[in-house]
C-alpha cells in the first residue's frame, strides 16, 4: 500500500509531497512498541499512514508558510495517529 499527500501554494511555486509505504508503516509500528509484522487490517494500515503523512505535510506547510492552521492540523493528525496506535495495541492485546 502506498499513501501520498501534499500541498501547493502560490500557483505551484511552493509545493510539498510526502509518500509513505509499508516500510514506513513498519517504522511507525516499531516506534510505538508494536511488532512491525503485526496483523493490521487494511483500514488500520491506511489510516496510520495517512495521518502520519498529513502530520508531515502540515508540519512542513506550517514551517514554510508560517501557517497557524496547518500547525493545528499537524497536531490533530499526531493525536489521531496516537489514538489509532492505542486502538491497534488494545486490539492486539499489547497494552
**pLDDT tens digits along 49-60:** 999 999 999 999
The number of distinct structural domains making up the chain is 1
Taking Cα atoms as reference points, which of 91, 81, 79, 95 lies closest to residue 33?
95
| 12 within domain boundaries | no
Rounded distance between C-alpha atoms, residue 63 and residue 51, angstroms: 18
Mean pLDDT, the chain, as a whole number?
93
Is the distance from CB of 87 to CB of 38 less than 8 angstroms? no
What is this structure's pTM? 0.88
Write the pLDDT tens digit of every residue in 10-37: 776 788 899 999 999 999 999 999 999 9
- Within a domain: 9: no
Range of the domain at 52: 41-95
User: Residue 81: pLDDT band by 50, 70, 90 thresholds?
Assistant: very high
pLDDT, mean of residues 34-55: 96
Amino acid at each position: 500500500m502506498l499513501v501520498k499527500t501534499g500541498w501547493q501554494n502560490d500557483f505551484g511555486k511552493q509545493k510539498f509531497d510526502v509518500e509513505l509505504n509499508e516500510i514506513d508503516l513498519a517504522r511507525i509500528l516499531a516506534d510505538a512498541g508494536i511488532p512491525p509484522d503485526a496483523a493490521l487490517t487494511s483500514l488500520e494500515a491506511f489510516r496510520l499512514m495517512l495521518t502520519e503523512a498529513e502530520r508531515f505535510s502540515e508540519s512542513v506547510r506550517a514551517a514554510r508558510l508560517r501557517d497557524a492552521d496547518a500547525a493545528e492540523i499537524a497536531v490533530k493528525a499526531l493525536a489521531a495517529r496516537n489514538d489509532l496506535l492505542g486502538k491497534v495495541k488494545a486490539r492486539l492485546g499489547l497494552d
